[in-house]
Each structure stands twice: as C-alpha cells, then as structure tokens.
Amino acid sequence: MPQVMEFKLPDLGEGLTEAEIVRWLVAVGDVVAIDQPVVEVETAKAMVEVPCPYGGVVTARFGEEGQELPVGAPLITVAVGAESLPEAPEAEAEGSGSVPRPLIGYGTDHSRPARRRRVRPVTAEVSAPTAAPVTVPVPVPVTVSAAAPVAAGPAGPVPVISPLVRKLAKDHGVDLRALRGSGPEGLILRADVEAALSALRAPEPVAAPAASVAQGERIPLKGVRGAVAEKLSRSRREIPDATCWVDADATELMAARAAMNAAGGPKISVLALLARICTAALARYPELNSTVDLEAKEIVRLPAVHLGFAAQTERGLMVPVVRDAQSRNPESLSAEFARLTELARAGKLTPADLTGGTFTLNNYGVFGVDGSTPIINHPEAAMLGVGRIIPKPWVHGGELAVRQVVQLSLTFDHRVCDGGTAGGFLRYVADCVESPAVLLRSL
C-alpha cells in the first residue's frame, strides 16, 4: 500500500527562516521522482529550487504563489509508491460529495525514476490566496507531522488542516468552532478566518471627514529588499565607520587595459583590474580584510580575500562573492565577475554565492555618478567605492591636460584601524590606478 508523506519547507541555510513561493513546478496528480525540484522559492538571499526527498504522486500542495511560508511549514504531500491518483466519479446528486475510487496502478519498484505526468485531479485548485492545500483524497495510510492535526472542541472536531490557518486564528482570538468552512467538506480555509477578522474589525459608521488623508503605497519590506535593509541598518548600528576619498588619473590604467585586450584572448574588464589592485593593497594593509568579534572583543584578520562586488538586478542589489580573489589574475577575475553577474541577473545565485565576503568593491560609476560614501557590508571592515571614469582637466607633467579621472572612496571600520592605515590603503590603490607599473613592482 502507498504511504502519504509530508514534505516541509527545509532549512535553506545561512540563518534563513522563511521563503516566498515564486512558482510551483508540480501540480496535484503529478508523478515526481526522488530529488526532483517541486517548487521555486525566493529567500532573502536568492532564488532556490527545492527538491523533494520522496518519489510518488503529489496529493496536495500547501500555499499559493506569492505566499510566504516559514521554514518547517508543509509544502506538499506525496503518495509514495503510487503511480496515479484515482479518478473522480460523477456526483450522485447536486450538492453530494464525490467519493474517490480505490487507488489503482501503484507499484513497488522505487528504484525506477518516475517521469512527470499530469493526472486529472479530483478537486480543482483553490484560487484564493490561502494557506489551505490543494488536495486529492487518497484512501491510504497517512503519515503527517504532529504540527498539522485537526483542531477539536467540545462540539467535535474542527476541520482545519493548515497550521498557518490555526496560527492565524489563535493569534487574533478567532474561535474556529464558530466558523463554517468554505472548503471541501466544510474545511476551514485562511479566507474564512480573514473574513471573520474583517467582520470583527469593521468600524462603526461615521460621518465622512471634510478632507481625506492620502494613503501612500505600501510595499512589503521583505525578500531581497528586506535583507538589504536589515544588513545596512545593522552596519550603521554596529560599525563606527569613516570615509576618505581621492581623485586619481586613470588614463594609464585605461591604456593598459586597451593594450591587454588588443593582444587577443578573453577581454579584461576595468572591474577586474580594480579588483586585482584591491587584493594587492589588502596584502599590504591586512587590517582592512578583517572582521570584529564583539563577543570575544577581538579583531579577526582573515587569511583569504573573498571579494564581494555590487551587482544591480531586477530583484534589487546583490553582492556576489569571488572566492580567493587574491590568487586570481585579471583574466580569471573577469571571467568570474561575468559568470556571477549573469547568474545574478537570471536570479540563479545560491545563498553560498552571496555570503562569506571579506571586502567589497562597489563600482557605482556605472550609474553615471562620481562619488558616494559607501555603507560597509556587515560584518566586513571596509568597502571601496569607484565612481565613473570621465575626461576632466588635470595637471599632468606640470601642464594642464584632459585626462581620464576617477574618484575613489574608502569607507572603513574605525575599530580595526586608524586613518593612517585607511589613507595608506587608498593612496596605494590610487597610485596603482595612475601608474599600473606600481602594481607590477609589488607582485
């Protein structure tokens, strides 16, 4: 006999406690294989396809697209060992319930991978955005978590399946026993609880005010935007930062890049050259490649440079991380920047791609601005900001000339170093930009 297993939203790592359903990859009645992705979710860090550890027939889905679920909440139930769902017979009379036929056609060979197959489900999907699942009754033993019992009261059991519905009712003092469910067989849905709440909160009729107060658009601070807000707020709360900046003549750097690209081979980006300069500067000033352990009251200098870089995407600001940047040459850095940027724009970065950075390079010059005061990417100790490179009047060789000028800004954690160290780092970066031979001498 098949057994119905409940698959919950797993812990996605990096301290994430919730995820939003972006797109269901399976429907009720589909046959899924072990480790087949069943839903695409968006966390505060990345878009993730969640694979199911069970193989069989999907009998229920919990949650609608756009709904946020906590880690540990049910995602789907799977009839393990089944190959199809029963077809629904004609109802005997209007208003009578459908009785599913016995489950047939299931096998015992679990090693054979199942293909995705659509089978006509017994019930249609619920269109309202509720936490109740889309279900198909399956006459087999059911194994479910203790977190999703049917609530019971003095008058008998209350038909509630979703733990989110029960929590919503409990948090707002709604007596489930007093509700009449609108779902199949009287199942109480989230919409039923919300309707009860609306009735309780309905204000008494009052005279219309002379002038209404404008109600601004409300945008949920969640997902990537919420994660960015929290990280930047924490940076401002915990890090006593300071910023220094300098203008540099980037004419020679741009000429060196043009010569490198003219020699053939993969193209090298300006960002890659700046990254290579940063790793050389961090080798000289390791204080800026560190973090502060507040509990131990220690500064932790980090042995490797995991270089984050700011990438603007449709989902918001992302900071992918290039691992072991100190061991990469400009060609390797260019390739890695291109790879991670493409993943960021496609929404396919993993949480691992977005964490573990030790220093961030922010090229805001792509937005056509000259300067900024970067906010440190907590828990790092510094960030280098780079403005646009544009022709400007510049004194070169004792004469006024038009040169390619860029403004460099360094924001640093004043706990890890003083202004002398920060100024030394920034001056070395500027010297390498103005004369790339300085970098070659230090290699």
Catalytically annotated residues: 414, 418
How many other CB atoms are there within 10 angstroms of residue 240's CB atom? 9
| Biggest distance spanned by C-alpha atoms of the chain | 98
Are 317 and 228 a contacting pair, CB within 8 Å? yes
Cα 219 from Cα 214, distance rounded (Å): 16
Establish how many alpha carbons lie within 13 A of residue 139's alpha carbon, considering only the half-sphere containing its beta carbon: 9
What is the three-class DSSP state of 183? Answer: coil
Could you please report the per-residue DSSP string of 66-117? T-EEETTSEEEEEEET-S--PPPPPPSSTTPPP-PPPP-S--S--SSPPPP-
Backbone phi, psi, residue 250, to 5°: -95, 15
How many other CB atoms are there within 10 angstroms of residue 325's CB atom? 26
For residue 324, give the nearest of 305, 351, 303, 352 by alpha carbon. 305
Cα 128 from Cα 190, distance rounded (Å): 9
Peptide bond into 379 cis (omega under 30): yes
Tell me how far CA of residue 272 lies from CA of 53, 215, 298, 443, in angstroms: 41, 46, 32, 16
User: Could you tell me the two tokens for 307?
Assistant: 């270089």
Return the residue matching tokens 């991978």: 113
> What is the rounded end-to-end Cα distance, in angstroms, of the chain?
68
Cα 277 from Cα 248, distance rounded (Å): 14
